[in-house]
Structure 1
């Protein structure tokens, strides 16, 4: 049985009129939500192949996800930013026999907030790891992303740990900004909110300013946050930078108590800027193979430069060369692959401070060795560049070179002189061997061609190839 379903059932019994799911046009109490979930779950009993879910954020997504849990059917969330090729691969690779998408006619199934359509795909079944409840795909640099199989217990282990670390009294109103098809929002946003006794306000992506995934409307995002009274958000660093700029410009009153940021390294300078504008940001760390969150700072114990203490249900250690290792068995395995390992080697290099907080220094495979023999994590330097509001995206190069160089995407309306000043400020926070010597302005990194991941991380090989030769000083 699912802890999330149990928690909802208990709330329906004890406080049946308490609103647990809301959206702009309506709301559902605990009793109403359980009723909707149970009704939809009845349609999924019997044949047990995975079910693809291609819906916008909203009540229909939430009800569908919970109904699949109740029915014991594995789900395959399809992020809206997937290409048609990636979507087809995910459904085929997982063996999804059914696809749930947006309904458009009166014959489609009505749910609160809209209609859904159930499409039989005709895709053949696959042998999945026993206990698979969700198969999550992260966007790859090709059309064939890898499917991570997770049990409901593994996902709820993360959600339950977040509740124990943050406390139930922090369960207010959570508004999704990332797609619910992204594991971080699904587990740390939806499941943790429902377990903690909070309300999930499921606005659509366009309403949250995220109608175009990689071209956010930050003014609209901030306006939605203020209008809904959201108390918690989950963001990636690029969205945080935009929200900071919007708050500095609009100065709207809000009720935010915590903004959790993960997906890439965040510079302490950016966290300080967020605090100065009245945005309560804490940094965390995780990966899909650990059902999202591994470690998190808390609002009462936030230490910039670290990602906080590991969640209590996990054991986090370091290898001899500093690689972050996570156990016990945080995922079941990949689709079509062997059983997941008991200890996951993350590929990230880290260290612990004297009080047990984890610091993530960069990807093991990305470390640059300069011509002077200095090891430099490009993520470290990039985080300092991205702390400057004039810089939208950046990728650092410099393997075997005397000085580091960078590809820079400026914020709209920013000219080269402003970029040069921003680079100078970032360099002033870095030691000599990690400073940027040469740089070049380039067009925005393009997700459609695999230049960035869903979290905005640069795909280095793709970008190096697209912008060869090495960058030189901009005019």
Structure 2
């Protein structure tokens, strides 16, 4: 369904029409917001599973209109992960059936016409109040809820739009999950502010279906999806700009897109920052760089480690003040834990890697291995556990050193059952550590020397 001048529905969507205008969309959102406020008068957050449907967009907008905190959860995390997220928050769980009926009632009421009945945001809602909670992996290995304010979301989307302008004549195709910060801000946020049209689908199959019917001009991708689209298509002639986030696009991918006449916009950020910290513009698009800081950020480099401060910043980790204090200091500086340099020629940020050990997969998912390794190492008979990216960088592998030849697969599966799919291993390998190499691979406290360990794994397999 097309939202805006048009809001486009994928071919398999149950939505009742092909497109709605901005006026129709506003009535539709108001009707759903009315139900949120009258039939569910408590102010508990609303959690729901996101599959990238028009229903998900309506719920997101209605939560804002009704002054309710929204907590979307990506369906790709898997059922156990969804259940784990649900247990972490005292909330109203909006299941698929209730969501479908709610959104359809709102649609039918809105399309009956009549005078618009505006729904005022409660007076108790302030710009700095919590509006949205997005899940991100923490150093404990457990997902943390990142609480973003109304003001922070607006300022971050506006800053991104100033860096990469779009107009009402554009058609933005969204194929990344709107349960994550990149699509939530760079797709939904910029769409709302620019007044362009929006088509929503999911993944490569959604791209194919949408491009068979539509002529999108803008789309955001992650490197793995950008590579698949480039290899298998289709690439519509109308496409003028592709944003790439979550991880760095290779130089080869960059130039292949440019050869097709498509400008590539790369950027940098993290969920805790709303998420956009830096962005290229159509005028300064070059490979291997992430753009200049967008409006509203102060940045500081401390021996190459990047700290940022500004109103875009998260309010904190949801109901976790201790983790918040560890990440944001008393002066409001967020430790990104990334090693960054400023290119002296272009002035753009260049991301050199993590100061910690976070794994960034080619599909944009980020994994903090230390907490997961701690859980695996606690299994009886396990001496060492290492979580590493596979050779393609698309998934992870677990390397397990045990006291005997057997791998404790039942216990490993019990741990991974509640993890999102991207944190589950492509395979579990037996780790063999020669006695002569232990001092090189572990420090005095027994902690893994990660760079040395990864080189050891690479030598063991030919790749890591």
**TM-score bracket relative to the smaller structure:** 0.5 to 0.7
| CA drift at 1:257 | 1.5
Match 1:352 to one of 342, 346, 349: 342
Tell me: CA distance 1:29–1:407, structure 2 relative to 1, closer, same or farther (3 Å): closer
Residue 282 (str. 1) matches residue 265 (str. 2): yes
* RMSD (Å) for aligned C-alpha atoms: 3.7
Report the alpha carbon displacement of residue 143 of structure 1 after superposing the two structures with TM: 8.0
Which of 308, 311, 315 is the matching residue for 1:326? 308
Name 1:202's counterpart in structure 2. 200
Q: 2:230 aligns with which of 218, 241, 244?
A: 244
CA spacing shift, 1:179–1:473, aligned 2, 3 Å: closer
Q: Could you say which structure has the greater relative contact order, defined with CA pairs below 8 angstroms and 6 or more residues apart?
A: 2
After superposition, give the CA deviation of every residue in 1:353-409 in whole Å (9 maximum; x if it has no partner).
124211101111249xxxxxxxxxx97xx98xx9xxxxxxxxxxxxxxxxxx99424
Q: Is the 8 A contact 2:131 2:148 kept in 1?
A: yes
Distance in 2 between the 1:107 and 1:63 partners?
10
Structure 1: 5+ residue runs without aligned partners?
1-16, 114-128, 211-215, 368-377, 387-404, 412-445
Match of 1:419 in 2: none
Alignment of 1:81 onto 2:67: no
Q: Which residue of 1 aligns with 2:20?
A: 28
- Which region of structure 1 is more displaced relative to structure 2, 68-77 or 184-193? 184-193
Task: Report if the CA contact (8 A) 1:283-1:296 is conserved.
Answer: yes
2:96 maps to what in 1? 101
Task: Say how many residue pairs are matched.
Answer: 357
Kindly indicate whether the alpha-carbon contact (under 8 Å) linking 2:147 and 2:314 is maintained by their aligned counterparts in 1: yes
Partner-residue secondary structure (3-state), 1:161: helix
Identify which of 13, 32, 48 aligns with 1:53. Answer: 48
Distance 1:170 1:451 in 2: 42
The alignment partner of 2:338 has SS state of: strand
SS of residue in 2 equivalent to 1:351: strand
1:147 is matched with which residue: 145, 148, 152?
145
**CA distance in 2: counterparts of 1:314 and 1:236, whole angstroms:** 24
Distance in 2 between residues matched to 1:267 and 1:107, nearest whole Å:
43
Counterpart CA distance in 1 for 2:292 and 2:417 is 32
Closer/same/farther in 2, CA of residues 179 and 467 from structure 1, 3 Å limit? farther
Contact 2:9 2:18 in 1 (8 A): yes
Change (3 A) 1:111 1:241: farther
**Counterparts of 1:270 and 1:451, CA distance in 2:** 34
User: Equivalents in 1 of 2:149, 2:160: separation in Å?
Assistant: 17
Cα distance, 1:363–1:356 mapped onto 2, change above 3 Å? same
Does structure 1 retain, via aligned residues, the 8 Å contact 2:146–2:318?
Answer: yes
The SS at the match of 1:285 is strand
- Structure 2 partner of 1:256: 239
Superposition TM-score, scaled by structure 2 size: 0.68
Distance of 1:263 and 1:452 partners within structure 2: 19
What CA distance in whole angstroms lies between the structure 1 residues aligned with 2:57 and 2:221? 19
Gaps in structure 2 of 5+ consecutive residues: 11-16, 109-126, 364-387, 395-412, 433-456
How much does 1:107 deviate? 9.2
